Structure 1
């Protein structure tokens, strides 16, 4: 040891090597610290690993999915509350619904990065849901509105003639305004226990960083590696009763769907576009449906589309839509046998690492299911067992939820 110290003191080259060593260790620690205050630990491998590393990301992806699913669960809870509020105020002459819901899973995971000190083991779904509900404000305002209404009445004039005159009367209406609003990220931090300047900075920094990143693209399962923007191509529609659209098609793949491109987040609009184009005389493309979906509040930032896109979107394009439970495979088979397509929200499995909509377009004589998967031609060309589709369908609504939608003209 004395020899090493003596050599260090008098040997400039040795001092230089040791200095470089210390600097390398310091920079490594600094990079790790910056990563911990800039990104959730469960997203680092998902975002920054390359396909060649062959890392097992399944555990991290499953944890991210819990936060994504919570956004959809709260959306469903909001809508259940709205329906209850409508019934409680059914005596009103008019009911107005103002629904401003834009909670993101990035907000939830940013908060937990601080609360859990980046330790995402044994996640409590109920606790995450309770945090999500702190973002929500619900209220019902009752008001009275007055307006002048014109009406006609027959009178007899001074000459004994009947004449029609227009008069006005004051009409009073009782109006219930049902409101759901999302509180800003910064305004929720104190309520969830993030109170120090340091923790507020970390949570806000993480939220700003991951909100601007295309995480959805990392959760899709495409044919081959991740999609290269510079190598997008056109896909033929095929000759099936339902045309095939691919969300990565160069005609629309790079167009925006909220904060992400259609190729990353547009499986919902692409699936609905296929069904609408096949069942109606209105040939719509994914970019048209994506634009409508975004403008009408069906885009779930960072998590694709709300399920309401299927019900409201189908009705918007003139179709009858029936939601079906994942416990009712016979209804799915009958619809397909009758020639009616079905869109299904898939959970993690062979079709997606997160969430993904696909189209069921038919059934073979052997009972196999024919599909259109907007992210994969390879999967679209296969015949599938119904059991796989039923088992891997989304459980966001619970095991008895309804992630299937039958479309009829």
Structure 2
């Protein structure tokens, strides 16, 4: 009996070792880029692998650097547009830039592609080197399309006083389009098919290693729930439009190359928020598509935390980040009719990572709209549970986002 138990334990350990091997190798290949050296210390004086603050700061530095280069890419595209217009013969032009407010990107993908391109020369990996390579390809970050139209405009004629003169002009409208991280795999890093597969593994393993709310997955084996129809919670200050990611209307619909039922808690939470706080009813299908097109989707990991503030701003909503050390801000916001999105880790709401919406306060407890559970959405929760189980490594201002 003891021998059988020992063999069983050995198999489990072997399986765990296999699962952990790629993350460990991945960490070893990124000492200076992600962790600043495996043996160096973070701000707390402890080994940086145990320093959540230092790890998050390093990742934030990388994301900031990537976004800075994205901004340079827009400037480059605008310069190319000006050159194009100069030869067009048109009277005037305008640029439609969907990324003016927020330049979102899949930083994990850039990191993974860069590391895959370095191959066995991982000791030369650095943020500065990565920036240099990315800048070499900034002219390929954005493309544009051009259309034209005739517009009637006022003609400022100094010889006329009260009479307003008009004239017709030919305008060119340039619309910017972000080519995406996949474009870089071919044009900057020149990855082979094997390197592309390795880059995908690296990105997934980075998400798994950082964990703590970054890897979001709902227990979903294809079994959907019946359509809930129009569900609204009216027991709080704000009437909340509720959506469930497992609803048969969209559970199997795509979220990138994943599905909403398994990975769509982020866009479903923002469907709840946007539909409740604006005049626009946005279902999870539409929000998942928006998230995919605007850099919110993380393959096999759910959503980047930046999806929450970026989507809120895209729909004209005010959003403020909030930490677990500010419970009164959360309570005050909910009491004033605002909604709060939270990224949760293992506990009452999830076994991994999961976005939920805090929708009000009743009898000193918190009302929620859980996009994966109508049961949990019907309960009252102690704020202490939510604070204790919120992500400790949340990015983009989280783990709480006050919206409204």
Q: TM-score range by the shorter chain?
A: 0.5 to 0.7
Of the candidates 16, 22, 27, which is equivalent to residue 41 of structure 1? 22
Determine if the alignment matches structure 1 residue 151 to structure 2 residue 155.
yes
Matched with 1:295 is 293
- Tell me which residue corresponds to 1:54: none
Q: Secondary structure at the match of 2:357?
A: strand
Query: What SS does the corresponding residue of 2:157 show, helix, strand or coil?
Result: strand
2 CA distance for matches of 1:330 and 1:294?
A: 34
TM-score (norm 1): 0.55
Cα 1:69–1:261, aligned 2, differ >3 Å: closer, same or farther? farther
Count of residue pairs brought into register by the alignment: 313
CA contact (8 A) 1:108 1:131 kept: no
What corresponds to 1:184 in structure 2? 184
After superposition, what is the alpha-carbon deviation per residue over 1:157-213, rounded to whole angstroms, capped at 9, x for unaligned? xxxxx98877899xxxxxxx9x997462366668xxx9xxxxx67533434678899
Partner Cα distance (1:67, 1:185) in 2: 26
Do the aligned partners of 2:116 and 2:196 also contact (CA within 8 Å) in 1? no
TM-score (norm 2): 0.55
Question: Could you tell me which residue of structure 2 aligns to residue 344 of structure 1?
Answer: 342
Residues 265-298 of structure 1: per-residue CA shift (max 9 Å, x gap): 2112211111233334433321122223333444
> Matches of residues 91-102 of structure 1 in structure 2 within 5 Å?
102=105
Matches within 5 A, 1:363-402: 363-366=361-364, 368-391=365-388, 392-393=390-391, 395-397=393-395, 401-402=397-398
Change (3 A) 1:295 1:341: same
SS at match of 2:367: strand
Q: Distance in 1 between matches of 2:73 and 2:159?
A: 45
Corresponding residue number in structure 1 for 2:322: 325
Cα distance between partner residues in 1 of 2:63 and 2:95: 20
Q: Please give the alpha-carbon distance, in whole angstroms, between the structure 2 residues aligned to 1:364 and 1:278.
A: 19
Describe the superposition over 1:230-266 as per-residue Cα deviations: whole angstroms up to 9, x where unpaired.
x212264364432332212111011012121111221
Closer/same/farther in 2, CA of residues 154 and 335 from structure 1, 3 Å limit: closer
In 1, Cα distance between the equivalents of 2:346 and 2:189?
Answer: 31
Measured in 2, the distance between the counterparts of 1:374 and 1:302 equals 18
Unpaired runs of 5+ residues, structure 2, are: 1-14, 25-49, 75-93, 143-150, 170-175
What pairs with 1:51-200 in structure 2 (closer than 5 Å)? 74-79=62-67, 102-103=105-106, 105=108, 108=111, 133=131, 136-137=134-135, 151-153=155-157, 155=159, 182=181, 184-185=184-185
Structure 1 vs Structure 2 CA RMSD: 5.7
The separation in 2 between residues aligned to 1:354 and 1:135, in whole angstroms, is 34
Whole-angstrom CA distance in 1 between matches of 2:126 and 2:260: 28
Quote the Cα distance in structure 2 between the aligned partners of 1:168 and 1:71. Answer: 51
**Residue 263 (structure 2) aligned to one of 243, 265, 272:** 265
- In 2: Cα distance, 1:405 partner to 1:252 partner: 25
- Aligned match of 2:400: 404
Query: Higher mean Cα deviation, 241-250 or 253-262?
Result: 241-250
Map of 1:241-260 to 2, 5 A cutoff? 241-260=239-258
Separation in 2, partners of 1:208, 1:181? 15
SS of residue in 1 equivalent to 2:240 = coil
Q: Give the SS at the match of 1:323.
A: strand
Residue pair 2:224, 2:247 contacting (<8 A) in 1 also: yes
Note closer, same or farther for the CA distance 1:72–1:376 as it changes in structure 2 (3 Å cut): farther
> What is the CA-CA distance between 1:334 and the residue it aligns to?
0.3
1:81-114 CA distances to partner (integer Å, 9 max, x unpaired)? 778999xxxxxxx998686865464674577689
- Structure 1 counterpart of 2:283: 285
Q: Is 2:215–2:302's contact at 8 Å kept on the other side of the alignment? A: no
Change (3 A) 1:376 1:76: farther
Return the alpha-carbon distance in structure 2 between the equivalents of residues 181 and 238 of structure 1.
Answer: 37
